[in-house]
Every structure is written in C-alpha cells, then in structure tokens.
Structure 1
Amino acid sequence: MIDKSVFENKIAAYYTLGCKLNFAETSTIGKMLAEQGVRKVRSGEKADICVVNTCSVTELADKKCRQAIRKISKQHPGAFIVVTGCYAQLKPEEVAHIEGVDLVLGAEQKLDILQYLDNLKKKEEGAIIASQSKYIRVFSPSCSADDRTRHFLKVQDGCDYYCSYCTIPFARGRSRNGTIESMVAQAKEVAQKGGKEIVLTGVNIGDFGKSTGETFIDLIKALDDIDGIARYRISSIEPNLITDEAIEFVASSKRFAPHFHIPLQSGSDNVLQLMRRRYDTALFRHKIEKIKEIMPHAFIGVDVIVGTRGETDEYFEEARMFIENLDISQLHVFSYSERPGTQALKIDYVVDPKTKHARSQKLLDISENKLHSFYEKHIGKEANVLFEHTRKGGMMYGFTENYIKIEIPYNISLVNKTNQVILGNWNKEKTALTCRLI
C-alpha cells in the first residue's frame, strides 16, 4: 500500500539522457508521481524529488550522466535523488557512490518507483541500490509526449543480439514486448488527447512479437487503422528485420511516414563480421534500393560507428566508399567507445583517438552533403507538414512526412495541425526550408 501522505505538496524534477525510449519511460514515471499529487518543478523552484534516467551507450555517456547527477544535486540541494536507466543498471555501485544520490533503480525496478519511495529522507549512510544485474524479463509499457507534437510509444524492449561492441542486452535485458491489443489501446488514447504523430520506439523494434507470438508487420497494420493519428514514424530498425513486406506496406499505408532509420554501423563486411552484426552490405544495399524504388522521396537516416577495434585504414576506406554510394539522406556518426565486458575487447587492432576523429569528420561531411542534396530535391514541391508548438524568434517549425524541417512565421492556428504547403528555399541558417501555405 502506497502512503500518499509521503507525496503531499511535493515537487519533482525529471532529467533524461539518451534515447527516445528513455524519454518515454521518464514520462511514465512522471505520470505515476503526478497521480500521487507530485507536481512538476517550475523554473526557479527547488525540487523535493529528482529523477535522473541515464544512458550508458558509450564511456562519454557515462561521464555525462555523472556530470548531470552532480549538477542536479547542486541545483536542488536537499532533494531526494533517484537514478535509473542503463548506467544505473550496469554500474549501480558506481552510481551509488556519486554524492547526493539516494536511490539507484535498475531496469526492471524503474517503473515500480513508487514502492521504493516509502519516505523521502536523504540517505546519509549511502544510497539504496534496487538493481538486478540479470534476468530482466518484464515489459513495462510507456508512452510520452515531447514539447512538440510527437508521442513516443514504446512497443518493445531489450535485445537478444549481443553485438561484440554493445552492452545494451546487459542494460535492457532480453527482447520482449507488449501485445498488439495494448499498443492499439495506447495509440487510441493518444488520438483521444489530440496527439497527431506517434513514433514507435524500442531497443530492437523489428523483433516485436518475440514474447507474444505476434509480428511487427501485424503491429503496424493494426496501428494504421486507428482514426485520429495523422502519421506514425518507425524509429531505428535493424536492416535484417525490416522486411520487404513492411517496406511495401509503409509505401501503401494511410498513416506511416516514408521515413526510415536503419543502423548500418559499418560499410565494410569484414568489420560487420567483427561486430557480429546479422547482415552484410549486400543486404543493406538491397533494403535501401527497395525503399527508394517504391518511395523515391523517402528520408533514410543511417547510424555508423567509426574507429571500432579491427577497423583498419583499408576497412574504413571500404566503408566510406560504400556509404558515399548509398542513396540515403543523413548519417548519425558515433565514435567507438570501449565498453567493459564486451567481446570487442578481444580484438587486437586498436584505432587511436586522432584517427577516430578524422574518420568521423569525413563521414560527417558526407552526411551534410547528402542532407542538403535531399532537401534541395524537394524545393518547389508540395508537401504535408505537421507544425509544432516551438516558437523561436517569431518563427515556428514543422516536419514534412519525409522529415524535412520547415520554417514559417509563427501562427498559433497552425499548431498541431497538418497543412499542405509548397516548399521554398533555405532559411538564413540553412537549417530548414521555408514554405508557402496552399
């Protein structure tokens, strides 16, 4: 039984680092505390409770988490600080020793936060750790809205792939998911609240159905039938799991946007083998060509890691040439970071930091050229734009179905509405296209 008196007149602050899945889960935690009467902190206020949802995808991510926790402790002196997320799951003892931390919650405990808040007294003797390092099996549903117009619907969690460089299976557990019925119910709730766009999130969303005997294609078909949602976006999905059937369905669907985010990680088959990825460059190229064949206007974002162990100069050059010749829209470039306990540490060849930086810059230059080329191909064309709440310097922004950012003078009547526009030239900063309403 939860003692509601513990939460009377309490104020909470929420901080999220990392992926959209974390943002969805933080939002769920916020809703749970709000139901107990806890109000979200306002500007200038000192919070009674601070919840920090962490990331641990790289060593830099760990460092940013530590910095954020220390900063939050200073900003909200005396607050009861809860740290959860992947960093807390992987290194609970390390987190517990950061000054100011009172409670460390693992992956399977984070959405049971209320039962761990029996009182909100600072832990002078050290933080309490409620974290289990193995056997993360429970799927906890989450759906959040950001400060714009999108909602993030968690459809899957965990991963069974164990790529050689990655700790996510240890941080998030085995692949699991909710039912299609429950996903549809949450999407309908978003529609009832006026939400127009939903992004499907997870760790390995193409693996949806593993724990319920369903399939990803059945999920997107069911969601496509929900009235009130203007569009869905599919977040990162493995190339070997995005089937041709799914691509064809998106092309003919009522609501799924022609927008894909597909992790490549390397354009060298030798490096892909060292990474223990489950595809080769031939399969990846096929998926890109399949998308562009039936949706020439589709936006395709691609994740790439540079400087992994074993990535020789020759292998990087293979990867660079492969990527340069792909018909994609943008790269998300990450420098390889050593993660304790991973199989990649057994690979002898190590890339020095200076070389990693130089390789990253080469790929970032390719990305910028591809993105600008993609935008310019659409100047003068008609598009459907969903405008967002954000206002900056008298301007508002939105995105087309194929993820082109649009700028227009602020007009409150356009917020959270889809509008047909003619795409114009670049704005002054070359960060978005201007447009004219039709």
Structure 2
Amino acid sequence: MAQKKVAFYTLGCKLNFSETSTIARNFKDEGFERVDFKEEADIYVINTCSVTDNADKRFKTIVKQAQKVNPDAFVAAVGCYAQLKPQELADVHGVDLVLGATEKFKITDYINDLSKNDFGHVHSCEIEEADFYVGSYSIGDRTRAFLKVQDGCDYKCTYCTIPLARGISRSDELLNVLKNAKEISEKGIKEIVLTGVNIGDYGKGEFGNKKHEHTFYELVEALDKVEGIERLRISSIEPNLLKNETIDFVSKSRIFVPHFHIPLQSGSNEILKLMRRRYMKELYVDRVNKIKEVMPHACIGVDVIVGFPGETDEMFLETYNFLTNLDISYLHVFTYSERDNTVAATMEGVVPKNVRAKRSKMLRGLSVKKRRAYYESQIGSTRTVLFESENKEGYIHGFTENYVKVKTPWNPELVNTLHEVTLTKIDDDGIVRFDFVKTYA
C-alpha cells in the first residue's frame, strides 16, 4: 500500500504553529508522509484561528485550495474556531471532520476511514473539559522553534474569545519544558521562542489548580541553564506579569535576547477599563522605562487595538500621542472586530468601520516610523545575526538578537548560522545591511 500523505495549513499565532507541528509528528508516528499544502495529499488539516474576522473568512478559501488539488481528499478542521463554531465549519462544503479543543491532539484516532463524508462530523467539548495540558513545539519550518509552555487564559478581557476557545490557564511541567528545549537544541535549531496564550501566568497546574507550581521567572532561570541553546526569545507577555526580576535577568542572561513584545491595546485608561485589562497606561510606561534602563538597545513591540466600542477621536489621539512619545520599536495593529459571546460585542459607542480603518492606517504609519527610528539607532553597533533558510529575490535575511532585520546576497552556507556583524546602513526597502565581523558555529 502506498504511504498516505498529509498536509497542514496554520492560521493565527505562534502557539498554533507549535501545535500544528506536534499534530504533524503524531501523523508521522502513524506512518503518514507530510507534504506541502500545495501538493496532492490524502488528508488536509487546517488549524484555525478566531482572533480576527480575516482568519475566519480565509478558512473557506483554504478548503477550496485543498479541494482544487485533490477533490477526493479528507479535510479536517481543528483549533480555536473549530472549538467556538464547530457547526459553522462543518457546514463548509468539503469539510469532513471538525475537532474541538480537547480532541485536536487525538486527530489520528478519528481518521480510520479516509472516504469523504456527506457532511462534516463534529467532535467538540464544553470548554470546561479542556483542563489538561498537551506540550508542543514546532520544528522543521524555520531556523527557530516555537516552544509552547502554557495554554488557556483566566483573564476576562471584554473583546477576547481565547478563554472560550482554549479554556483555563494551565502550564507544562517545568521538567517537561526543559526536556523539550533540550530536544530542540539537539536538532541543531539555534533559537527557541517561548509561546502560550498568557505565558507570564506560567506555573498553574492542570484541572483548574490556581496555585503556581513555578513562576515565569523560575522558568526563565531554568531555561537559561539548558546546554546547546544559542538564543531564547520571550513572545508576547502581559505588562502586569513582566516583573523587574525577569527584565533584570534577561539583561544579564547568557541566551535570553533583548526583545520583548508587550500588549498595550490602548493608550487611554478609559478604554483599558472598558477592555478589563489588568493595568493602566502608567504601568506600561514603567515597564518600557525599566527595559530601556537596563537594555538601551532592546527591541520592544506593542499590540494595539483600534476602534474599540466607546473609542472617541480624542481617545484614539491619546493612544496615538502616547505611542509617539514612548521608546518602542514597532506596533502590531489590530482593527477591532465584533466577536460573538463577548461583552464588547454588546457595548454602546460602536465605531464605524471606515473610522476603524482610518485609525488603523494612522497607527501602521506610526509603526513604520518607529521601526525606522529604532533601526537608525542601531547603525554602527555590532550585533549577532541568525540567518534564515529562505531565498528571497536573491537575498538571505536574518535577525539580530535585538530583532533588527538584515539582509545580504543569498548564500546557502549562511542558513542557520550565527555571525557577529556591524550594522552599516538601511536599504531602500527598510532592511539593514552590514559588514561581517566574526563567524560562530
């Protein structure tokens, strides 16, 4: 019998990428061959996202892409949207199987017969049942790996569906995180990005145990001692959970890099209260100042939402001016979109969509200026670059430890290697050029 082929498409966040990789390894253990999504496969697995409208709409397009390549292929949907609206996905023409939060890691158990179904079969759960933890990490796609350390969220932000899609906050055991980190390093991957829904809340056990077995700081401290890892990057962390001790530790760390991504969401305290965020903007300023005090060259990325219900022109300008005056490096701008079963969807003061789009455009423009100013501040400095594996129009790209994007003419020997470089100038495309100084492993 010919070996069955499986292909994957991942929508959304780094956490989804890490989980797709784990599911893919499960298929490999069952004897499947993984192929690219554009190739003909027997099964197409789509890992869905619920954060933006765009991710929802793209699902149908992706199903059509799979069917175009192989109309007889078995199509399965997993992930956040599959948990929130399983029947909606099951009703999409061509979908055979939809698995919710507790079932997605058992997908191979559900695939006994690969013949097409007349309608999509749904296996989902009440989200309260998602009280166990499945560790994940992604490898094979990049020169860096996404290592999942935490899942779910106990916060009740009024715009967010993640607690409904992923359940309560729970974490991997420290020893297991260290084991996974060691496994990744042994595969020759140079950089690990820690990921989760709310990683600063690391340490809560399974079954709704609110007690922290370990703290996020203890996790950082332990990972710093793992042999073979060249770089560790902290992905998004809530400002109220990013403590001084963690910032100080990163500033002196052997492998943790000076790059933080800290969600702000709004520079208006009024809007932060409506969002039920757990800090005011003054705390955010304090976190940025602390980082810059001990790591002046650190890169700081910011998430911000525009067009939240009740956001007046004045409040938006308050956010715009707040970010203009803050020593940050780039923005991830999200245009607010109504999500079913969230408090915000029922709030008054709905912002017209054309106004949301205009505000989003303004902040994206500000992000370009911020990134440019940050890159300019780094010209003349000596940094370490990790090169990636893609040939982009004759160039190979890489990132410095403090997240400056660089490029040099394509050379396959540079892939997944570290080099000390001096940053020399910013090209017309906004990417930085450099001179080689020293080569590492």
Give the TM-score category using the shorter length.
over 0.9
Structure 1, gaps ≥5 residues long: none
The equivalences for 1:65-214 within 5 A come to 65-124=59-118, 126-135=119-128, 136-145=130-139, 147-211=141-205, 213-214=213-214
Residues 307-355 of structure 1, C-alpha deviations (whole Å, 9 max, x = no match): 0001111211211111111100001101000011111123210100111
Give 1:400's aligned residue. 400
Give 1:270's aligned residue. 270
Q: Structure 1 residues 62, 31: CA separation in 2 closer, same or farther (over 3 Å shift)?
A: same
Q: Assess if the C-alpha contact under 8 Å between 2:8 and 2:36 holds in 1.
A: no
In the alignment, the residues of structure 2 paired with residue 287 and residue 278 of structure 1 have an alpha-carbon distance, to the nearest angstrom, of 14
Give 1:437's aligned residue. 436
Deviation at 1:43? 7.9
Deviation at 1:428? 3.7
The equivalences for 1:304-315 within 5 A come to 304-315=304-315
Q: Assess if the C-alpha contact under 8 Å between 1:147 and 1:389 holds in 2.
A: no
What's the TM-score once normalised by structure 2's chain length? 0.95
Deviation at 1:411? 2.6
In the alignment, the residues of structure 1 paired with residue 194 and residue 140 of structure 2 have an alpha-carbon distance, to the nearest angstrom, of 14
Q: Structure 1 residues 221, 302: CA separation in 2 closer, same or farther (over 3 Å shift)?
A: same
Equivalent of residue 40 in structure 2, options 33, 41, 46 = 46
Q: Does 1:352 align with 2:352?
A: yes
> Which structure 1 residue ranges, 4+ long, deviate > 3 Å from structure 2?
42-45
Give 1:417's aligned residue. 417
What's the TM-score once normalised by structure 1's chain length? 0.96
In the alignment, the residues of structure 1 paired with residue 381 and residue 168 of structure 2 have an alpha-carbon distance, to the nearest angstrom, of 44
Give 1:290's aligned residue. 290
In the alignment, the residues of structure 2 paired with residue 21 and residue 273 of structure 1 have an alpha-carbon distance, to the nearest angstrom, of 27
Deviation at 1:146? 5.3
| Higher deviation after alignment, 268-277 or 75-84 | 75-84
Partner secondary structure for residue 272 of structure 1: helix
Deviation at 1:108? 1.2
The equivalences for 1:49-60 within 5 A come to 49-60=43-54
Whichever residue aligns with residue 51 of structure 2, its letter is: V
Whichever residue aligns with residue 256 of structure 2, its letter is: F
| Higher deviation after alignment, 233-242 or 59-68 | 59-68
Q: Assess if the C-alpha contact under 8 Å between 2:159 and 2:343 holds in 1.
A: yes
Partner secondary structure for residue 423 of structure 1: strand
Give 2:427's aligned residue. 427
In the alignment, the residues of structure 1 paired with residue 304 and residue 56 of structure 2 have an alpha-carbon distance, to the nearest angstrom, of 20
Deviation at 1:435? 1.0
Q: Structure 1 residues 416, 428: CA separation in 2 closer, same or farther (over 3 Å shift)?
A: same
In the alignment, the residues of structure 1 paired with residue 390 and residue 167 of structure 2 have an alpha-carbon distance, to the nearest angstrom, of 36
Whichever residue aligns with residue 198 of structure 1, its letter is: I
Deviation at 1:375? 0.3
Residues 127-159 of structure 1, C-alpha deviations (whole Å, 9 max, x = no match): 111111321111111111253310000000000
In the alignment, the residues of structure 2 paired with residue 248 and residue 188 of structure 1 have an alpha-carbon distance, to the nearest angstrom, of 24
Q: Assess if the C-alpha contact under 8 Å between 1:307 and 1:336 holds in 2.
A: yes
Q: Does 1:19 align with 2:13?
A: yes
Deviation at 1:215? 0.8
Q: Assess if the C-alpha contact under 8 Å between 2:161 and 2:339 holds in 1.
A: yes
| Higher deviation after alignment, 387-396 or 418-427 | 387-396
Whichever residue aligns with residue 234 of structure 1, its letter is: I
Deviation at 1:70? 2.7
Deviation at 1:44? 6.5
Partner secondary structure for residue 436 of structure 1: strand
Q: Assess if the C-alpha contact under 8 Å between 1:90 and 1:133 holds in 2.
A: no
* Residue correspondences, number: 430
Residues 222-269 of structure 1, C-alpha deviations (whole Å, 9 max, x = no match): 111111111010000000001111111100110000000000000000
The sequence identity of aligned pairs, in percent, is 51
Give 2:209's aligned residue. none
Structure 2, gaps ≥5 residues long: 206-211
Deviation at 1:40? 1.6
Q: Structure 1 residues 159, 42: CA separation in 2 closer, same or farther (over 3 Å shift)?
A: closer
Deviation at 1:410? 2.3
Q: Structure 1 residues 73, 44: CA separation in 2 closer, same or farther (over 3 Å shift)?
A: closer
In the alignment, the residues of structure 1 paired with residue 360 and residue 36 of structure 2 have an alpha-carbon distance, to the nearest angstrom, of 39
Partner secondary structure for residue 95 of structure 1: helix
Partner secondary structure for residue 240 of structure 1: helix
Give 2:208's aligned residue. none
Q: Assess if the C-alpha contact under 8 Å between 1:70 and 1:98 holds in 2.
A: no
Give 1:217's aligned residue. 217
In the alignment, the residues of structure 2 paired with residue 391 and residue 67 of structure 1 have an alpha-carbon distance, to the nearest angstrom, of 27
Q: Structure 1 residues 42, 62: CA separation in 2 closer, same or farther (over 3 Å shift)?
A: closer
Q: Assess if the C-alpha contact under 8 Å between 1:57 and 1:167 holds in 2.
A: yes
In the alignment, the residues of structure 1 paired with residue 72 and residue 348 of structure 2 have an alpha-carbon distance, to the nearest angstrom, of 47
